[in-house]
Amino acid sequence: MNILEKILTDKRREITGRIVDCPLANMRERGESAPIPRGFAEALHSVPMGLIAEVKHRSPSAGVIRDPFVPSDIARGYERAGAQAVSVLMDEPYFGGGEAHFREVREAVGLPMLYKEFVVDAWQIWHARVLGASAVLLIAAALEDEVLRDLMRIAEEAHLEVLLEVHDADELDRALALGATLIGINNRNLKTFETRLEHTLNLMHKVPDSVTLISESGIRGPEDVMRLKSAGVSGVLVGEHLLRQADLESAVRELMGT
């Protein structure tokens, strides 16, 4: 069992318990009464190169990334520096995230937010709407096409955009066949955890101009951002590089050349 399989097994167990505490019908009812969220892709396209800045405490590969870790302060720094959106990790056991962090960030900033989670059930889609997300992450490597299609439909019902994450050419083909309009190419090899920017550059020729393309992981400086921008990528999702800098605002401006 690889790390993704282990995380998914634990996540399904976690969500089963949460559904007992708050059934899907109740969560959906709450979600339907929540305000319509701001457009996620629209915000990314408001500038030549969009930034989804991530709020993440730790990861299985990197350990603790930032200490002290205050989600609201981090998000405010991102917003002041001109980020177009914020991603917040929802998984607690492996990434040190969770609902409390999402709520804290939602109260602190007005930016569109990505519910970055290992989504395995419709309950999580409506949970994202309740919390004030604009978009949810779906991972092609984690879900069969039939499940992806169903979750994408439910996200549309919830007025949420889907960032469909792919890791290779086969997953990209699946995402395009499913009609995804917002696709993230993760530059991290799930088996070795190695990150290579070339992964996005090698795959993006298959992506039509109508798709908003995001490059994720392994973006370490303004040269990487400029290279991706020149190639036609719509935006980048960056966490670790920014979170390791003492001055987040300066780090964002330097990274994005603003």
**C-alpha to C-alpha distance for 116 and 128, rounded to whole angstroms:** 9
Backbone angles phi, psi at 223, to 5 degrees: -65, -40
Query: For the chain, what percent of residues have pLDDT higher than 70?
Result: 98
Strand-strand pairing, 58-59 and 50-55:
unpaired
3-256: CATH homologous superfamily? Answer: Aldolase class I (3.20.20.70)
pLDDT band, very low/low/confident/very high, at 251 (cuts 50, 70, 90): very high
Structure tokens at 24: 């899907």
pLDDT at 73: 97
Active site residue 206: no
Backbone angles phi, psi at 243, to 5 degrees: -65, -20
Query: For the chain, what percent of residues have pLDDT higher than 90?
Result: 92
Q: Is the pLDDT of residue 258 over 90?
A: no
Active site residue 56: yes
Catalytic residue among 134, 186, 215, 234: 186
Closest residue by Cα to residue 52 from 212, 246, 244, 245: 212
pLDDT band, very low/low/confident/very high, at 1 (cuts 50, 70, 90): low
Q: How do residues 78-133 score in pLDDT, each as one tens digit?
A: 999 999 999 999 999 999 999 999 999 999 999 999 999 999 999 999 999 999 99
Active site residue 5: no
Catalytic residue among 79, 161, 171, 216: 216
Q: Is the pLDDT of residue 202 over 70?
A: yes
**C-alpha to C-alpha distance for 216 and 209, rounded to whole angstroms:** 18
Catalytic residue among 87, 104, 116, 229: 116
pLDDT at 95: 96
Catalytic residue among 134, 215, 217, 234: 217
Active site residue 186: yes
Distance, C-alpha 50 to centroid of its chain: 13
Structure tokens at 57: 């405490």
Catalytic residue among 79, 104, 161, 165: 165
**C-alpha to C-alpha distance for 162 and 142, rounded to whole angstroms:** 15
Strand-strand pairing, 63-64 and 212-216:
unpaired
Q: How do residues 189-201 score in pLDDT, each as one tens digit?
A: 766 677 889 999 9
Q: How do residues 16-51 score in pLDDT, each as one tens digit?
A: 999 999 999 999 999 999 999 999 999 999 999 999
The contacts of residue 96 (CB under 8 Å, 6+ apart) are 56, 57, 58, 64, 69, 89
pLDDT band, very low/low/confident/very high, at 206 (cuts 50, 70, 90): very high
**C-alpha to C-alpha distance for 116 and 136, rounded to whole angstroms:** 6
